[in-house]
Structure 1
Amino acid sequence: MWREIEPDQRYDVEVDGHHLVAYGFGDGDEVLLCLNGGPGLPCDYLRDSHGWLKEKGLRVIAFDQLGTGASARPTDEALWDITRYVAEVETVRQALDLGKVHLLGHSWGGWLAIEYAIHHPQSLKTLILENTAGDIPHLSLELERLRAALGSETVAMMQRHEAMGTLDHPQYQAAITLLNYRHVCRLDEWPAPVTRSLGDWNMGPYMTMQGPNEFLYTGNLKDWNRIEQMAGFEMPVLITTGQHDELTPACAMRMKMALKDVQLNVFPNSSHMPFYEEPQAYFPVLLDFLLRHRN
């Protein structure tokens, strides 16, 4: 199934005077353009889990978003805006002459994919929304539910540290670590591409857009909700999630109810990364969807 392989191509793309690096696997007209999560993460974890799909006749493209990985890392907070990132995706698509693509967005990359689909629907063959949400206020309610499972005393402790701004306290960090192992990746040992991406996390975009951790949204996306606009999507959509995902099956269901041509798969033994946690279940679903929508 998935394995780390070297990209076949490395591309340099200029976006508004900033340098981006993109990676390609395979060739052909069926392009899977991958938008990884974060914000602020290099694309390693998503690129390296999906690059092998070149063996299935797909051209797989991923790139380090501005501020991450091998791409430029400016510090202007005004750059950390989803509208600017949409323009970045379109610049990459045009610069690499990708034509119409299958757009795969994971986590934050899913929010970006939804926003891109609203503004550039003519550029998409299909939309694949992995472990993501279309309504962040609803997601925040779901995260409160997941936190509540830690117990009332632990939640009170977390709220105290959040109010005081002492999020680096060992007590608080221990609670976040437990939540991460429950709802981000349930494997005892996280795969090397995941630890590489996490080890090179640029917290500037993350703090500005999302917040201090996966379970507290305070950034400029905290009120983002595109459920109403998703009702207008005409392209086929695949939604995947894990039963234990931090971006919960309820978030996935909320998107499904808004869409016209949609398939939803929930993987029972996964949280936020079924392509690592349950690859034997995840990849057949993805490949079947793409096979049915080749053109």
Structure 2
Amino acid sequence: MWREIKPDETRTVTIDGGHKIVTYSFGSGDDVLFLVNGGPGLPCDYLREAHSCFVDQGFRVVAFDQLDCGASDRPNDPSLWTLTRHVWETEQVRQKLGLGKVHFLGHSWGGWQAVEYALTYPENLASLILSSTVADMPQLRAELDRLKAALGPEAVAMMQRHEAQGTFSHPEYVGAITVLNYRHVCRLQEAPASVMRSLSNWNMAPYTTVQGPNEFTYIGNIRHWSRLADLHRVEVPVLITVGQHDEQTPACALEMKLRLKHAELAVFPNSSHLPFYEDPALYYPVLQGFLERNRRTPR
């Protein structure tokens, strides 16, 4: 169960090109759970606090603030805000920390990185956890349109008008997004403190460039990305986790499972995009069981 644990080590590494990345390490086990969080532009507080408890199972848990967020450097260079460059950055962090093969857990945007990482650096993986994520943006965009449609035709027409005009800050549009966020991002009445810390320090510039103005409108440089056709190349065991009400929907999760050779899929009925906070009694046993079955070093 998640709880606040102070990092055993907070270390700054300098990646090629001179930028500094701040990393957080918990425990000292030989098996490394390597966390790459959502965003982009979001500090890693919410994901590292939710998973640092795996030190109790003998894992070393490692997270980092991606470039342009949290405590890491903020060069504010839009040319760096691409999926490919962020995957390279993630590999730089793994190398600089000397982590060896890792159990790579990518959540949301971190899951898109996880898919690309598995196809680019397969030799560095012990297992892969795709948490509330997708491998095909066209499918996700269609699913998001379906979620929007549940607001009713008048609301959809209003949202389409504002999206066409670029008036994303209009109160009626913001109101619709607020409802969707509650239904499909976090259904808790009060978000955990770690989530609020991440959200309060969100750098929206890379987020807008890569994704778009909000969680339900993909007009950034990622909008056409798809790796479904390549998932058969992933050889390591894969766990896919998704909330029943997740914005990155169970339909998207199923499509990944059908393309992967060695995949398990867990759907959590009481959660949306943050099952480790919304449905912890079901989430943690699933992840713990998968990690135990795929440890590199027996306990």
Indicate whether the TM-score tops 0.5: yes
**Shift of residue 128, structure 1, vs aligned partner:** 0.2
Q: Distance in 1 between matches of 2:64 and 2:115?
A: 18
Deviations 1:184-208 (A, max 9, x none): 0110101111111111111111011
Q: Distance in 1 between matches of 2:279 and 2:293?
A: 22
Q: Distance in 2 between matches of 1:261 and 1:111?
A: 18
The one-letter code sitting in structure 2 at the alignment partner of 1:200 is: N
For residue 107 of structure 1, what is the aligned residue in structure 2? 108
Q: Distance in 2 between matches of 1:87 and 1:232?
A: 19
Equivalent position SS for 1:231: helix
Equivalent position SS for 2:189: coil
Deviations 1:42-68 (A, max 9, x none): 000001111111111010000000011
**Shift of residue 285, structure 1, vs aligned partner:** 0.3
Equivalent position SS for 1:95: helix
For residue 276 of structure 1, what is the aligned residue in structure 2? 277
For residue 5 of structure 2, what is the aligned residue in structure 1? 5
The alignment status of 1:98 with 2:99, answered yes or no, reads yes
Deviations 1:112-157 (A, max 9, x none): 0100110100000000000000001100000000000000001111
The one-letter code sitting in structure 1 at the alignment partner of 2:33 is: L
Deviations 1:206-227 (A, max 9, x none): 0110000000000110000001
The count of corresponding residues between Structure 1 and Structure 2 is: 295
Identity of aligned residues (%): 62
Deviations 1:79-123 (A, max 9, x none): 001111111111111111100000000000000010011010000
Q: Which moved more, 1:101-110 or 1:80-89?
A: 80-89
Q: Distance in 2 between matches of 1:163 and 1:227?
A: 29
Q: Which moved more, 1:226-235 or 1:124-133?
A: 226-235
Q: Distance in 1 between matches of 2:294 and 2:227?
A: 24
The one-letter code sitting in structure 1 at the alignment partner of 2:4 is: E
For residue 258 of structure 1, what is the aligned residue in structure 2? 259
The one-letter code sitting in structure 2 at the alignment partner of 1:155 is: V
Deviations 1:18-76 (A, max 9, x none): 11100000011110000000011000000111111111101000000001100011111
Q: Distance in 1 between matches of 2:135 and 2:269?
A: 21
The alignment status of 1:184 with 2:185, answered yes or no, reads yes
The one-letter code sitting in structure 2 at the alignment partner of 1:271 is: S
Equivalent position SS for 2:11: strand
- The runs of 5 or more residues in structure 1 that have no matched partner are none
Q: Distance in 2 between matches of 1:4 and 1:154?
A: 40
**Shift of residue 163, structure 1, vs aligned partner:** 1.1
Equivalent position SS for 1:33: strand
The alignment status of 1:221 with 2:252, answered yes or no, reads no
The one-letter code sitting in structure 2 at the alignment partner of 1:224 is: W
Q: Distance in 1 between matches of 2:236 and 2:254?
A: 18
The alignment status of 1:203 with 2:204, answered yes or no, reads yes
For residue 123 of structure 1, what is the aligned residue in structure 2? 124
The one-letter code sitting in structure 2 at the alignment partner of 1:73 is: R
Deviations 1:209-252 (A, max 9, x none): 00000000001100000011111111000000000000000000
The alignment status of 1:32 with 2:22, answered yes or no, reads no
For residue 23 of structure 1, what is the aligned residue in structure 2? 24
The alignment status of 1:86 with 2:87, answered yes or no, reads yes
Equivalent position SS for 1:34: strand
Q: Distance in 1 between matches of 2:42 and 2:243?
A: 21
Root-mean-square deviation (CA), in Å? 0.6
For residue 289 of structure 1, what is the aligned residue in structure 2? 290
Q: Distance in 2 between matches of 1:39 and 1:155?
A: 26
The one-letter code sitting in structure 2 at the alignment partner of 1:136 is: M
Q: Distance in 1 between matches of 2:234 and 2:117?
A: 11
Q: Distance in 2 between matches of 1:207 and 1:94?
A: 29
> Within 5 A, what are the aligned runs for 1:144-163?
144-163=145-164
Deviations 1:253-292 (A, max 9, x none): 0100100001000000110000000111001000100000
The one-letter code sitting in structure 2 at the alignment partner of 1:12 is: T
The alignment status of 1:51 with 2:52, answered yes or no, reads yes
Equivalent position SS for 2:233: coil
